[in-house]
Structure 1
Amino acid sequence: TNSSSIAALLHYFLVVVQSAPVSSSNLSPAFTQASNRAKMLVEKILRDIPTVHGATVSTEGLTLDPSTQTTNLQMMVASLGIPAAPVLKPPSERFTLDVCVSRMSAGSQLYQGLLGVLSNSVSGLSDLQADLRDLLTHLNKMKEEAQLEVVDQDLSLDLARRLHGNYEVQVAVHLSLTQLRSFCHDLIRSLRAIATYRRPAAAAH
């Protein structure tokens, strides 16, 4: 069933990543620089989403206003097989920096993949795709600088075969942009927390 396949995807998508020790509890200037650049890019994506939505979604009733979200739209999330973004929290001993950056990367990959599929049916998404690709570059730099033991998730999407007509495409674009906006808000909160985060002394070797 759709629900069981989505559940299986999410289980794989949110796989627990083990934390690896790093050489120092302080994050390097290069890590901080990559984090700041990532944050600036996420802020740009957030600014651009309303414009992109306006240019790509013309179906009446599909707006970025949360009050317009209906039960029917939530059902469409399941029927189209659009996964939820991974949950982000500020890094802590329980929610390690490794897991935090891993989920940032996984979510960015998810939306880059979704927009890639949808770009085959609608124009106007390429700039956001490019920004997400650049964001992944900065997140990868953060991984390298902090020597994070992060597992990349390759989430295969079966969205393409569910897009039977223009209405499904419009709803899929709307839902993807709406979820991307929410994920970007979480990204900014996490990146702000990372900027002031220092690993516990026990994590430094």
Structure 2
Amino acid sequence: MDTWTVTILLHYLLCASLVQSAPVDLPSNLPPAFRETAVEAKTLSEKILKDISAAHTAAVTDFNLDSSSQMSNLQMLAVSMGIPSSPVLKVLSEHFTLDMCVSRMLAGVQMYQNLLEILSSRASGLEDLKADLRDLLNHINKLMEAQLGADHSDQNPISDLDSHLQDSYSVQVAVHMTLTQLRSFCHDLNRTFRVLITYRP
């Protein structure tokens, strides 16, 4: 295959990839307050990402935040302890609207706030994260108000995680998995905030 053909094929593949990842269902009339709040929420989410490493170092001695050697076993333990998975944030489309996206953001932040509330009574170093999540929750509630005209109270079921924290090892596992999942969720949040901030109809 000659160089020209390869170049043309790569061009079309790149264009197809960009089209697939583009937001196709953002309203053209997003109010300025929505964008401003999204910028502030993104800043908070980035701060949380930076603080997760320090919180993990303070609270967890048995596991490394970036270690994946035991991840499958730890994920099974997390499920058995009642630590839920993060809500999934998708590319905005007619099947995954802005309303659904903001609702899942809200549900995810509420979920991690609730989990850290439980874990902070058993482990040190989580207070700053709890405060940041509370502030982020307020900002996402503002996004909800700007988009839907209403805020939403916590709809997450009460976790029974506390009953599974029988010893220091279970606490370490719970903190490690919660912070690992929170980090991944915040990366998803940041990608979504970038779309909301930079989108122009």
The TM-score normalised by the length of structure 1 is 0.79
Please tell me whether the aligned partners of residues 141 and 151 of structure 2 are also in contact (alpha carbons under 8 angstroms). Answer: no
- For residue 175 of structure 1, the aligned residue among 154, 171, 177 is 177
Aligned length: 174
Please tell me whether the aligned partners of residues 90 and 194 of structure 1 are also in contact (alpha carbons under 8 angstroms). Answer: no
Structure 1 unaligned regions, length at least 5: 1-23, 200-205
Asked if 1:105 corresponds to 2:125, the answer is: no
Specify the alignment match of 2:96 in structure 1. 95
The TM-score normalised by the length of structure 2 is 0.81
SS of residue in 2 equivalent to 1:67 = coil
- For residue 36 of structure 1, the aligned residue among 39, 61, 64 is 39
Q: Which amino acid aligns with 1:124?
A: G
Task: Please tell me whether Structure 1 or Structure 2 has the larger radius of gyration of its CA atoms.
Answer: 2
Paired residues for 1:1-205 under 5 Å: 25-59=28-62, 62-147=63-148, 152=153, 153-197=155-199
Structure 2 unaligned regions, length at least 5: 1-26
Please tell me whether the aligned partners of residues 99 and 150 of structure 1 are also in contact (alpha carbons under 8 angstroms). Answer: no
Please tell me whether the aligned partners of residues 92 and 101 of structure 2 are also in contact (alpha carbons under 8 angstroms). Answer: yes
Please tell me whether the aligned partners of residues 28 and 145 of structure 1 are also in contact (alpha carbons under 8 angstroms). Answer: yes
Q: What do residues 94-131 of structure 1 show as CA deviations (whole Å, max 9, x unaligned)? A: 11000000000000000000000001111211110110
SS of residue in 2 equivalent to 1:68 = coil
| CA distance in 1 between partners of 2:199 and 2:150 (Å) | 18
Deviating above 3 A after TM superposition, structure 1's stretches of 4 or more consecutive aligned residues are 148-152, 196-199
- Structure with more contact order per residue of length (Cα contacts < 8 Å, sep ≥ 6): 1
CA drift at 1:147: 2.4
CA drift at 1:49: 0.7
Q: Which amino acid aligns with 1:84?
A: S
Please tell me whether the aligned partners of residues 55 and 126 of structure 2 are also in contact (alpha carbons under 8 angstroms). Answer: yes
Q: Which amino acid aligns with 2:131?
A: A
Specify the alignment match of 2:11 in structure 1. none
CA drift at 1:151: 5.7
CA drift at 1:66: 4.3
CA drift at 1:67: 2.7
Please tell me whether the aligned partners of residues 142 and 151 of structure 2 are also in contact (alpha carbons under 8 angstroms). Answer: no
